[in-house]
Structure 1
Amino acid sequence: MPATPPTTVDHQRLIVQLQGGDAGALSSLYDAFASVTYRVCLRMLVSPEDAEEVLQDTFLRLDAQAGRYDPARGTVQTFVLTLAHHLCLERLRARRARPQAQDGALNDPAFDLPAPAATHDPLDQVLIDAALSALPASDRQLLEDMFFGGYTHAELTARTGLPLGTVKSRLRRALLKLRERMQP
């Protein structure tokens, strides 16, 4: 009989163990979330070398900041991906560059790899895809530029020519629509 994939409760238990200094818990969390974390980092940074470094830094930061995890604010996966996202933004801002899509970079098979069974629920992906496709294309692009491109509101204003208030309003509206559509 195949092993059952870890659940959110299992991941929360691992965080508690990590808070207690259990190095095995960090290893288990790495096994559970490294693949999806790497893909997010690669999407944001484009460079595989940078993505690998941020992946490693993410789990070092997770080890140091496990005590900040609050289950009321999201899942362990969300916490890990938020750490990675912030580290990617730091890297982007530090090098004063934005990710430039290289020929075929977005067609890279790494972006098409499914997450390990332990962290990927096909129903979740269908819900995410449906929620994103329900957004107007311009709002979806603003979200992608903000999240994956690391652009600030002011930079999005300069890129799109939209007023700052409009950019902020569209982003907020898009996030609220996503939240609404993602609710069970």
Structure 2
Amino acid sequence: MEQIHKYSEPELVQMLQMQDQQAFSYLYDNYAAALNGVIYRMVEDKELAEDILQDAFVKIWNNFAQYDSSKGRLFTWMINLTRNLTIDTLRSKGYKKQQKISSDENAVSNVQDQSFGADKFDTMGLQKHLANLRPEQRSIIDMAYFKGYTQDEIAKHTGIPLGTVKTRMRAAIIELRKILQ
């Protein structure tokens, strides 16, 4: 019987740098649900979220040499990589064309599976922490990190000046750091 090992972040990073398959399996087993929750919240399509998740883990594996622990935690790096990949997918011409083709085609069968949304992502407890932010900060964080909007898009969508969006986002991130530490 194989013994399940729990790795510390430095151990895991070191093993991943040596391209250890067991460490990568551990990484997938322990982080896939949270990353999938982030992706699903942005795309609201279970199959697309799963495809992006697979692409994200391939990218994590292939680009692990770029991870620098002095710049932040492993999970933060993975979430940013995954979020950026999701945004790139949403902005791609192929995705936009597919959305136009199937927008009304599957209206009846587009029932959301909530098990991949906020509840899965909340294994990290972020929802309760976001609740501690002021509403204007919370909505900007939600739009930027969970829906994939740029700061410029948030400004246009909400009618708030870009400088105000940037200020609120910075204040919200500072507040979240305080809460999470």
CA distance in 2, matches of 1:131, 1:57: 29
Gaps of 5+ in 1: none
Quick one: which amino acid aligns to residue 114 of structure 2? D
CA distance in 1, matches of 2:75, 2:25: 14
CA-to-aligned-CA distance 1:96-121 (integer Å, 9 cap, x gap) = 599x9x9863x723336557xxxx5x
Counterpart of 2:115 (choices 106, 109, 132) is 109
Per chain length, whose mean CA-contact separation is higher, i.e. which structure has more relative contact order (CA < 8 Å, sep 6+)? 2
Asked whether the 8 Å contact 1:153–1:167 carries over to 2, the reply is: yes
Aligned residues: 168
User: How far off is 1:142 after superposition?
Assistant: 1.0
Quick one: which amino acid aligns to residue 40 of structure 1? V
Cα separation, partners in 2 of 1:20 and 1:5, compared to 1, 3 Å? closer
Q: Does 1:75 align with 2:73?
A: yes
CA distance in 2, matches of 1:21, 1:4: 19
Q: Does 1:22 align with 2:28?
A: no
Quick one: which amino acid aligns to residue 73 of structure 1? K
CA-to-aligned-CA distance 1:11-49 (integer Å, 9 cap, x gap) = 432332222232232222111211111111111111111
SS in 1 for 2:63: helix
- Of 22-31 and 83-92, more deviation after overlay is shown by 22-31
User: How far off is 1:80 after superposition?
Assistant: 1.9
CA distance in 2, matches of 1:66, 1:180: 28
Gaps of 5+ in 2: none
Equivalence for 2:171: 173
Q: Does 1:145 align with 2:143?
A: yes
Cα separation, partners in 2 of 1:22 and 1:5, compared to 1, 3 Å? closer
Quick one: which amino acid aligns to residue 148 of structure 1? F
CA distance in 1, matches of 2:173, 2:28: 28
Superposition RMSD in Å: 2.9
User: How far off is 1:174 after superposition?
Assistant: 1.1
Equivalence for 2:87: 89
Cα separation, partners in 2 of 1:5 and 1:132, compared to 1, 3 Å? farther
CA distance in 2, matches of 1:59, 1:138: 33
CA-to-aligned-CA distance 1:152-179 (integer Å, 9 cap, x gap) = 1221111111111111111111111111
CA distance in 2, matches of 1:171, 1:179: 12
User: How far off is 1:182 after superposition?
Assistant: 1.9
CA-to-aligned-CA distance 1:34-77 (integer Å, 9 cap, x gap) = 11111111111111111111111111111111112222333322
